[in-house]
């Protein structure tokens, strides 16, 4: 975010997170979370609560911008968890006003792992008609080309984030108000974006034409809220009104909501992995309970890949609903064979090589009395590099399990995502160069099965499965079929899927 005039709060960070724990390295990273409110007292406090509910979408850093008629625009950006920063009364008192937006971040572009405070959103710009702040969830796939063009035309970037391109495009627009400038800017942008923005009086929400990333609208008292997920509406006592539709812009004031359609209409392609892993299980996506969808994934898995066993155990916490569904459909008892240490956060300090070598045991522990002598089905949400799966298998066998069978609640992840999810390079994805049988042998388990792509589609409510001619969701991480050409990555030599694949 660019510097704001002297009325703003301090934007210094209390310090960065240490490197993430080895367990976290084998999961796809959530993208970001955005939230905003208008027409409520102490809007920044509402925003902090909303960001707390969205913390699973980004744990690296967070920021809030608020506006008050007397104080003007104020902001605070911090590294770390919302609970460690935005619960301070002294800090929140510096963010007065009845309108505010916020952002929680995990870096998907820019300096991954070396984020500077200037990269932390929301970003702010002072325009001729007044200031505006913007928070972005997603990824701009033509950001490199836009950045080069803008710099050549005199723009001076303050961050390494792709999202800052939107602010500079708005600055170059000739339109007379902020919403119209935002329309201009976003028509130049390719990729995935759910944007929450604010002016002195307006809260603005926009989704890209494919609706890849989520965004919902809620009513809170006499005011309104925008959020990445419905769970954040619940925490502030807001009523869920509806989703912001793909390709829609909503402009919200204390008086109501206006809807615009600034883009050419396209067939929506919502990210199917939001159902599998990213969103919280207590959220609603596309009118469907995320929990129920994940439970149904387990049901489909049990039908597609049955196995004789004594226990169905989730890899906590993301594998739990699917494990429940697998147990219910198969009739095999559900059990908490692995217990998660809820207090092992990303800030854990690993001072010695001996502790580092403990690896996943710092975060997960096997319930030995339950596991010993049993044939165990482990249900997890995904296999990325496979490193954590191997460690968990070893822990289960060390506890005396007779057999270990993995059942995975998503298809093999064999392609990187370029729409706001931090995935490894393709050659680091186990499924990119191994068959299911080869992965089974590599992991050293008795069996390994992934849900099929059609099975996943059935679980999210598509009874006939995936339509190969016109897929209903974005599933590029499984299929290699990218709905928006990843222009920046192609420029860097990335090879997209060929007809033979």
Residues taking part in catalysis: 32
3-state helix/strand/coil string of 37-87: EECCCCHHHHHHHHHHHCHHHCCCEEEEEEEECCCEEEEEEEECCHHHHCC
State the Cα–Cα distance between residues 11 and 47, nearest whole angstrom: 17
Size of the chain in residues: 501
Strands 270-271 and 32-38, sheet pairing: unpaired
State the Cα–Cα distance between residues 335 and 161, nearest whole angstrom: 43
Give the CA angle between residues 47, 49, 50 to the nearest 5°. Answer: 65
- Of the candidates 472, 433, 427, the one whose C-alpha atom is nearest the C-alpha of residue 453 is 472
Is 21:344 a contact under the CB 8 Å cutoff? yes
CA dihedral sign of residues 386, 392, 397, 401: negative
Is 470:481 a contact under the CB 8 Å cutoff? no
In 273-354, beta strands by DSSP E? 284-285, 288-289, 311-314, 338-340
User: What is the distance in angstroms between the CA of the first residue and the CA of the last residue of the chain?
Assistant: 42
């Amino acid at each position: 975010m660019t510097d704001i005039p002297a009325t703003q709060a301090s934007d210094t960070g209390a310090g960065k997170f240490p490197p993430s724990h080895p367990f976290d390295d084998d999961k796809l990273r959530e993208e970001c979370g955005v939230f905003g409110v208008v027409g409520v007292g102490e809007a920044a406090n509402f925003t902090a609560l909303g960001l707390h509910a969205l913390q699973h979408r980004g744990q690296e850093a967070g920021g809030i911008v608020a506006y008050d008629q007397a104080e003007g625009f104020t902001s605070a950006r911090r590294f770390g968890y919302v609970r460690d920063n935005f619960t301070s009364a002294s800090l929140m008192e510096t963010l007065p006003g009845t309108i505010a937006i916020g952002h929680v971040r995990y870096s998907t572009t820019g300096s991954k792992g070396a984020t500077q405070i200037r990269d932390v959103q929301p970003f702010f710009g002072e325009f001729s008609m007044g200031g505006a702040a913007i928070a972005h969830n997603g990824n701009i796939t033509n950001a490199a080309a836009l950045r080069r063009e803008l710099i050549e035309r005199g723009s001076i970037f303050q961050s390494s984030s792709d999202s800052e391109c939107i602010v500079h495009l708005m600055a170059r627009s000739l339109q007379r108000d902020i919403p119209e400038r935002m329309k201009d800017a976003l028509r130049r942008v390719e990729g995935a974006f759910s944007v929450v923005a604010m002016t002195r009086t307006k809260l603005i929400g926009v989704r890209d034409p494919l609706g890849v990333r989520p965004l919902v609208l809620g009513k809170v008292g006499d005011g309104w809220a925008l959020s990445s997920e419905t769970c954040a509406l619940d925490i502030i006592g807001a009523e869920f009104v509806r989703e912001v539709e793909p390709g829609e812009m909503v402009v919200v004031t204390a008086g109501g909501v206006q809807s615009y359609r600034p883009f050419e209409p396209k067939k929506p392609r919502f990210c199917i992995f939001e159902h599998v892993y990213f969103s919280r299980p207590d959220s609603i996506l596309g009118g469907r309970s995320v929990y129920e969808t994940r439970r149904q994934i387990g049901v489909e898995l049990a039908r597609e890949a049955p196995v004789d066993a004594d226990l169905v155990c989730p890899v906590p916490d993301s594998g739990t609903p699917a494990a429940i569904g697998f147990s219910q459909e198969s009739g095999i008892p559900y059990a908490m064979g692995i217990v998660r240490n809820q207090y092992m956060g990303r800030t854990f300090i690993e001072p010695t090589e001996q502790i580092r070598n403990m690896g996943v045991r710092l975060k997960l522990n096997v319930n030995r009395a339950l596991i010993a002598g049993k044939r165990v089905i482990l249900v997890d949400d995904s296999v990325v590099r496979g490193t954590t799966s191997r460690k968990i298998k070893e822990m289960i066998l060390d506890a005396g399990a007779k057999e270990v069978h993995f059942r995975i609640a998503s298809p093999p992840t064999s392609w990187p995502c370029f729409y706001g999810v931090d995935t490894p390079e393709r050659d680091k994805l186990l499924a990119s160069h191994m068959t299911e049988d080869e992965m089974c042998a590599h992991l050293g388990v008795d069996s390994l099965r992934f849900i099929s792509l059609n099975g996943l589609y059935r679980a999210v409510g598509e009874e006939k499965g995936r339509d190969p001619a016109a897929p209903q969701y974005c599933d590029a991480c499984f299929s290699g079929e990218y709905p928006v050409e990843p222009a920046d990555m192609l420029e860097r030599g990335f090879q997209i899927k060929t007809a033979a694949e």
